[in-house]
Structure 1
Amino acid sequence: MQVDTGRFPLNGDWWYRPGPVEERFLQEDWGGPSEAQGWQLVHLPHDMTEMPLNGFDERRLAKKGCYVRDIATEGRADSQLSCAFLEFDGVAVSCRVWVNGRPATIHRGPYTPFSVRLDSAEDEKVRVLVEVDSAEDPEIPPFGGVVDYLVFGGIYRGVWLRHCGRAWIDDAWCLPRPAHEKDTWEAPVHVTIAAIEGRAAELQALHVVVRLFDSGGDHETALAEASVSASQEVSLLLALASPRLWDIDAPYLYRLSITLEDAAGRILDTVEKRIGFRTAVFTPQGFFLNGRRVFLRGLNRHQEFPWSGYAMGPDAQRCDAQLLKRELGLTMVRTSHYPQSPHFLDACDELGLLVFEEIPGWQHVGDAAWQEQSLRDLQAMIRRDRSHPSIVLWGVRINESQDNHEFYRKTNELARTLDPDRQTAGVRYIRKSELLEDVYTFNDFSFDGDTGPLTAEPGRVRHKSSPLIANPSRVLPSGPAPYLITEHSGHMFPTKRFDQEERLAAHALRHARILDAAMGDQRIAGCLGWCAFDYHTHKDFGSGDRICYHGVMDMFRIPKYAAWVYASQVEPRERIVLEPASRFAKGERDAARVLPIYVFTNCDAVDFYRGSRLVGRFFPDRRHFPNLPHPPVVIDDVIGQLIDDEGWPARDAALFSRLAGKALAHGPSRLSPTEQIQMGLFMLRRRLSMRDIEVLVMRYGMGWGARDETVRLVGIVDGKEVIERRFGADSAARRLVLEPDLLVLDTSSDEEWSSTRIVVRAVDQYGNTAPFVFEPVHIELEGPARLLGPQWISLQSGAAAFWIAAGRNEGRVCIRAGVPRFEEPAQVDIEVIQRSYERHEPGN
């Protein structure tokens, strides 16, 4: 008889009811959940408490809820030959599970997977009941102290039904490495076999077959076999000559298939992994990927979303990875401060985005029991993720905790036992901290000065006592060691996307300056900013509305100016970036100053036009940003060639433009004594009064009364115009637009629900976001999808976003969004395609 094996998604047809488990739910004669009893049908992932965007009491998150799912078992193979597991990717914070009314397991911790055996009772139908407790248990990391983020309760990741034989593959992983022979690599595949209790003695003649396929899965490139017995660990070695390497620019993935057979040749279990051939080493001279030094330019990511908390399906997780890699041009992301979605990590593998993954926690280290739980979290994280080529560093220390020699000796020892080839790190903010890990990872908040960078000379830090970054030799406990900056900025300069332009630009310049300083020190492997997205937090942190506005993007993944600092560092052949840190309004900045204008771009130069006339060509500021691949372009003159209308000699025209530009940037009082004398002599030569000077500055500098307010920025690469952006001081909101990340959603009855983000923007006549529109937007949906969150949302500085989730049925979804000021609503259509059923094997 053939054994029925495979891994199947099981996310549809769950029932949810708020409140703790009741005794009647566990009785054999309970009729099951129904709407009449207060149950609702849900599709996983699911969040138990839909919280408002801000201004809420986080204590509302502490609650219990129950989930029930009936699983049909008719038609399964002989129970003597097979068994089944229910695998949970993530439940927050802790849970109890019953199978047919009998206790099955207790799991503690919101971020690690666990499984439940279903075949202990020979029933035709299996009923699974899960009681979730989302309270912040002080005995479970990251809790016990204050925590600068929130954990949202529910079965918030996917659930799988796994069928296998009476013996199965309990664990399998592979991390290839170069062999001693030139151009030859070896891929050691480590496999652990488990069996039904009491049956191991009968299963002594098992066979493991390992096959390696190319990325398309058509061509077998290597094969290895071994005889094993139940409850045994075995390592098989695959050899491959000149494999295609996994790299950040070309992330080539091989498919690894591992099959377990019994003596009769029946397949008992099959596991598949995707692996990459690469080397990744941190040294005191930097980080090296495949022997090439790569500076790690990155950000930290929290995994939460507005209204849905942690409960977001695979599409949103993948879109986050694509945004970080493709839109922001990052080379690394840190999963702060916990293991994140398998879908996110899969996407990092596919995109070539390097990952620093760390155990759950925030500053607090608890008692011995708490530490044992943390060690279990670490073990589960590494066992789950150690085949991912994107992961290059294990975080084995609680974020920003104090030294704890015995605890961190154990975490390092455990990580090196489970994965001897990957380096360890521990994030701290302490200088001269004990280094038990391989890499000293440091949250560097040295820079606390220069609160008004737009009022200083471009690129200059006013407070010399506040360095941009710390000197590694003054941070490391002794001697050179691999060194990575894991946080900077963040709480030092919280910035809302709806803040005044000067603060948004100052926020961006902090990131640019610190990134430039880090890139200029060869001892620093990389620099990860805090953080990618704004996030929810406790009352002890943030801006009082339960949000930390620390991201380079807001919670909707809409960029602030700081995002363009990172995006502009990619090469022009990959993507052209041209983003000014200005709205080009005439009174937005203090004292109506309009200069300087920082343009974050990877162009060689920027031509600046006002109306139809060229002001001048401006170049990257390599003087103040010598280490960035693409420094910002600083426009420090809005008059330029326009003053030629006065017919002055070139010397006088250049002098007036330069001095007027400085006055427009910093105020007339900032002119030096020498510059004041120069202006006085110029006025004598031209027979001009102070009133005349003011009129000239208003006419050519401020453009008061101008009929054509158009500002054009034209990017130049290799001497050619490659991109153009238009703006204007006469900007006025004209219409709403909807911009979905995805136009087609795949769905099936038991997959995690498919979703897409839809950005809604009020745009002006130039196609730019109208930044001062804060009106409510009404959202309507027609078709096989549902809205995640409320029907009414408010624009924030002209933009917001919402997510929709596809249902089971295929068809067209029409989304409309409207505000009273616009006659016509914005509309976009999304196609939902019913996907044919596919069998799933475990990923990485």
Structure 2
Amino acid sequence: MTPPTPLKLLLSLILGVLSLFTGPAAQAQTSLIQNAPGRRVLSLNGSWNYIIDPYENGFYDYRREAFDKSATGKGGYYDNQKPSNSQEPELIEYDFDHSAAMQIPGDWNSQDIKLLYYEGTIWFKKDFKLKPTAGKRYFLYFGAINYESHIYLNGKKLGMHKGGFTPIQLEITDKLSATGDNFVVVKADNTRHTEEVPTINTDWWNYGGITRDVFIAETPGTFIVDYKVQLAKDDASTLAGYVQLDGPEKAGQSVTLNIAEAGLRQTLKTDGEGRATFRLPAKKLKLWSPLSPTRYAVSLTNGSETVQDKIGFRTIQTKGQDLLLNGKSIFLRGISIHDENPLIPGRARGEGDLRMLLTWAKELGCNYVRLAHYPHNEIMLKLADEMGLLVWAEVPVYWTIAWENPTTYQNAEQQLSDLISMGKNRASVVVWSIGNETPLGDPRLKFMSRLATKARALDDTRLIAAALELHRTPDNVVHVDDPLGEFLDLASFNEYAGWYWGGKPSEITKYTFDIKYNKPVVISELGGSALAGYHGDAETRWSEEYQEALYVNQIKMLSAIKGLRGMTPWILVDFRATRRQHPVYQNGFNRKGLISNTGQKKKAFYVLQEYYRQQAAKYDTGK
């Protein structure tokens, strides 16, 4: 990997330290449990009652003071109040049990026509039975809620969370009912704000609600909360990592790491903080790659608890302008993907939707996907491991963020930390992306360089990237000299020659690229829109032929770049975007997909497929 200059690194480290003393973190939760879905869980997926609350009557009184901050903490919808047997009538102006129901996980925009464009608050309630067992601990886990959520159990507030795409975990051990009858209430608010991450302006649909799996995880009193089992930095012969226990008896405990198929077994002893680190020779491990996505059954045992995972092992590094996977040159044959099933309105709801998207990417000839522009479902990362697809994983620092707001930075850093926590054991993830198309300026550079430094501190075994800015000069030269590139491992950038600039598709081959950095070049976006089934000649905008010609000439133009090591054209499938309003060609969809929202492959799909076939023949000479 190419490190930043010493001066830049020192500046970023100083800023990183200063950030510890700025605004509070957005989340009130314990450290995320590694591989939480793999623990013993009680699913809360299914039907949840909901109440639409645009005035937030269930959260504030008539003087706009929050009920849950009052002396009694009572009065909000989270109380789930029922009429009592008292002879004096009570005024209750809501009733979850007689309200409509919605399927969770799922967004509200696609499940109720009244809510297609709704942005605001909706309350959700779910009853469940769980009688706590002595000596056990319980954690309520949401895969994602968009965007700000307040979470209550049996009328008591557990915490709040900001961020529409990262997990939420709250301990509920001492808040469960002794009778086993419980209810959870969630206030979800997808209102956009300029100081949030992402900011007010995006190019995807602002799906609201509880959009990923909900469950309760049961653990022992002292349990394995976190672990990292991966190859050491740039070293395929050494397995390195750690195990972290949580609980009253975490110090001085024995934890056994076992990878039976590879003949690796080691008993570790935790320190006073419940942590044990290790470095083991790993010469017998078969390395993971897209050609051979080998995964091993890894188990970690502490007392009566055994945590199991399937983990692949590989190295990723740069050498000048070359990109090396397991020490061998690789070309990233990629495509960008949104977390959305185009065939069914709404967010992708589970493994079936996600597997379909990755299967399409494999059919295109991909060995790599960019999961844009926010953290995707943890299931997606596990499927990529299984199917042999490298991954660029990203946080939604997108376009114009409130660069000088300390709380905004803390929010972005927390989302980055949670993304890395969720994906650090997935061999497929080779790039942590800290943002997309952020405008030049000193406040932005400070903000983004701090994120890059944070990502390296959390995980030095993967590449750090972002979609950089570029500019053109009258001599038809595209310059990539964004100063953020000093902090990154890839010269990665978005370019839309033939669509937003550069004239007709046939004219874009006149452009050349002046790239400042001696790093592998990865084009993070390129493309143009086509309405599936609309035909014309190669100069008829919106036609499949225009998009086809654009891809033909993009490939010619980009192939001249020295150090080109991959691309993720925009995008695999047409997706919903509120800002795309042309009533004939868009109708609420971004049409840059190579596949339509009905699953129809456009002509450009086959152009890229053939190019990737040629690249595979050139680079995939061995496993």
The residue correspondences of 1:307-706 to structure 2 (distance < 5 A) are 308-325=345-362, 327-366=363-402, 367-403=405-441, 404-430=444-470, 431-434=480-483, 435=485, 436-447=487-498, 461=506, 463=507, 466-467=508-509, 470-471=512-513, 474-476=514-516, 479-490=517-528, 494-502=529-537, 503-539=543-579, 545-569=587-611
> Sequence identity of aligned pairs in percent?
20
CA contact (8 A) 1:339 1:359 kept: yes
Secondary structure, aligned partner of 1:68: strand
Cα displacement (A) at 1:364: 1.1
RMSD after superposition? 3.0
- TM-aligned CA distance change 1:89 to 1:401, over 3 Å: farther
Secondary structure, aligned partner of 1:568: helix
Secondary structure, aligned partner of 1:416: helix
Cα displacement (A) at 1:452: 6.4
In 2, the alpha carbon distance for the partners of 1:409 and 1:189 equals 26
In 2, the alpha carbon distance for the partners of 1:389 and 1:160 equals 26
Partner of 1:82: 136
- In the alignment, is residue 284 of structure 1 matched against residue 320 of structure 2? yes
> 269, 272, 276: which is aligned to 1:227?
269
The residue correspondences of 1:31-50 to structure 2 (distance < 5 A) are 37-40=98-101, 42-50=102-110
In 2, the alpha carbon distance for the partners of 1:486 and 1:319 equals 22
In 2, the alpha carbon distance for the partners of 1:565 and 1:106 equals 47
Partner of 1:18: 51
> 268, 274, 289: which is aligned to 2:310?
274
Secondary structure, aligned partner of 1:467: helix
In 2, the alpha carbon distance for the partners of 1:501 and 1:330 equals 28
The residue correspondences of 1:46-57 to structure 2 (distance < 5 A) are 46-50=106-110
CA contact (8 A) 1:356 1:392 kept: yes
Gaps of 5+ in 2: 1-37, 60-74, 85-93, 471-479, 538-542, 619-623
Cα displacement (A) at 1:498: 2.5
TM-score by length of 1: 0.58
Cα displacement (A) at 1:506: 2.9
Deviations 1:172-206 (A, max 9, x none): 122214887xxx722213222222xxxx3x55342
CA contact (8 A) 1:337 1:399 kept: no
In 2, the alpha carbon distance for the partners of 1:157 and 1:13 equals 11
Amino acid corresponding to residue 66 of structure 1 in structure 2: W
Secondary structure, aligned partner of 2:173: coil
> 186, 190, 211: which is aligned to 2:242?
190
Deviations 1:647-702 (A, max 9, x none): xxxxxxxxxxxxxxxxxxxxxxxxxxxxxxxxxxxxxxxxxxxxxxxxxxxxxxxx
In 2, the alpha carbon distance for the partners of 1:564 and 1:547 equals 22
Cα displacement (A) at 1:224: 1.6
Question: Which of structures 1 and 2 has the larger relative contact order (alpha carbons within 8 angstroms, sep 6+)?
Answer: 2
Cα displacement (A) at 1:157: 0.6
Amino acid corresponding to residue 393 of structure 1 in structure 2: V
Amino acid corresponding to residue 52 of structure 2 in structure 1: G
Partner of 1:670: none
CA contact (8 A) 2:253 2:274 kept: no
In 2, the alpha carbon distance for the partners of 1:28 and 1:245 equals 53
- TM-aligned CA distance change 1:138 to 1:16, over 3 Å: farther
Cα displacement (A) at 1:407: 1.0
Matched positions, count: 527
- TM-aligned CA distance change 1:249 to 1:63, over 3 Å: same
The residue correspondences of 1:142-221 to structure 2 (distance < 5 A) are 142-144=198-200, 146-177=201-232, 185-195=237-247, 200=248, 203-213=250-260, 219=261, 221=263
Where has structure 1 moved over 4 Å in runs of 4 or more?
31-36, 56-59, 447-453, 540-544, 627-630
Deviations 1:348-387 (A, max 9, x none): 1111111111111321111222121111111111111111
Deviations 1:546-603 (A, max 9, x none): 22111111123321111112333465xxxxxxxxxxxxxxxxxxxxxxxxxxxxxx8x
- TM-aligned CA distance change 1:192 to 1:133, over 3 Å: same
Secondary structure, aligned partner of 1:106: strand
Secondary structure, aligned partner of 2:408: helix
In 1, the alpha carbon distance for the partners of 2:39 and 2:285 equals 29
In 1, the alpha carbon distance for the partners of 2:295 and 2:162 equals 34
In 1, the alpha carbon distance for the partners of 2:617 and 2:80 equals 68
- TM-aligned CA distance change 1:281 to 1:179, over 3 Å: closer
Amino acid corresponding to residue 492 of structure 2 in structure 1: T
Secondary structure, aligned partner of 1:235: strand
